């Protein structure tokens, strides 16, 4: 229902946008590539932002709206594909979606006041340790579980509470996918089980934010179309790849995502520490 409301708002408010135009080939390609990797668990927002700034495609003040609106169709496709294809526990799925949404709403004011450098450093080091643990498990140097599609007891509670914390951290620019994928894998879930949870939570977040930006008109019209159209194609291709990977390769994918996220956090902390105050 929310997806229908979002798409309806896009049509209605899009007709009022003063700079309507068709997407370029480059914008379609950006949507395809970024959403392809988004489906693999590497968030599309940081990648798209880097491309926009490098190519000076979108004014800085329009980037948030462009990202939330343009990547929402891909996020909707991701959610529909993985929620229907992966039989994760419905109670855990709904609880973590609610937890992420409440965390983003209630915790935003707290998180944005935390020291950014310290936050990025701690998250980076923690994610790096998690990545090394995954590598050790994959090399059979440590024992590892990771085949469950549901959680019970303290693991269930920890997952929901952690989803609320991660939802709050999104307001500080921390991506949801990588940390959530790592968390659920460490709790013993099958790597595939993380995908419907993180895709559905991300889709809800982007659609709600996207409607706000559509009403304000603060987005690049042609670029959002390129991200949306190209993104759906990228999602369909990547989703087929993820669902066809055996468990061992999926675990290596989680380890690779963890390393990527760790490097991203630590490099961001280094840039923040060097920035003029």
- pLDDT tens digits, one per residue of 241-255: 877 777 677 778 777
- Give 208 or 144, the one with higher predicted confidence: 208
Least confident of 78-82, 136-140, 183-187: 136-140
Q: What is the pLDDT of residues 84-102, one digit of tens each?
A: 888 889 999 999 989 888 8
CA distance 54 to 86: 37
The residues spanned by each domain of the chain are: 2-274
Tokens of 182: 């790592």
**Above 80 in pLDDT, residue 73?**
yes
Q: What is the pLDDT of residues 170-226, one digit of tens each?
A: 655 566 776 787 788 888 888 788 888 888 887 887 888 788 889 888 889 999 999
| Per-residue model confidence (pLDDT) at position 30 | 94
Q: What is the pLDDT of residues 17-26, one digit of tens each?
A: 888 888 999 9
> CA-CA distances (angstroms) from residue 233 to 36, 44, 75, 227, 277?
8, 14, 12, 10, 42
| Per-residue model confidence (pLDDT) at position 143 | 55
The model scores a pTM over 0.85? no
Cβ 217 vs Cβ 16: under 8 Å: yes
């Amino acid at each position: 229902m929310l997806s229908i409301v979002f798409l309806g708002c896009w049509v209605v408010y899009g007709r009022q946008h003063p700079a309507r135009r068709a997407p370029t080939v480059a914008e379609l390609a950006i949507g395809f590539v970024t959403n392809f990797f988004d489906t693999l668990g590497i968030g599309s927002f940081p990648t798209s932002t880097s491309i926009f700034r490098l190519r000076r495609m979108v004014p800085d003040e329009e980037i948030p709206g462009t990202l939330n609106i343009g990547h929402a169709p891909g996020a909707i496709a991701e959610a529909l594909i993985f929620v229907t294809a992966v039989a994760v526990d419905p109670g855990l799925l709904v609880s973590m979606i609610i937890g992420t949404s409440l965390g983003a709403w209630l915790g935003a004011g707290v998180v944005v006041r935390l020291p950014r450098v310290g936050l990025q450093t701690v998250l980076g080091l923690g994610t790096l340790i998690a990545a090394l643990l995954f590598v050790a498990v994959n090399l059979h140097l440590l024992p590892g579980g990771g085949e469950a599609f549901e959680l019970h007891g303290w693991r269930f509670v920890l997952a929901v509470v952690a989803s609320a914390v991660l939802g709050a951290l999104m307001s500080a620019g921390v991506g949801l996918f990588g940390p959530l994928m790592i968390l659920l894998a460490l709790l013993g879930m099958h790597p595939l089980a993380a995908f419907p949870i993180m895709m559905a939570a991300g889709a809800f977040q982007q659609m709600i934010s996207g409607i706000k930006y559509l009403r304000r008109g603060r987005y690049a019209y042609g670029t959002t179309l390129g991200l949306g159209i190209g993104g759906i194609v990228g999602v369909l291709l990547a989703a087929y790849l993820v669902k066809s990977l055996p468990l061992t390769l999926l675990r290596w994918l989680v380890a690779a995502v963890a390393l990527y996220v760790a490097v991203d956090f630590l490099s961001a902390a280094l840039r923040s520490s060097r920035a003029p105050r």
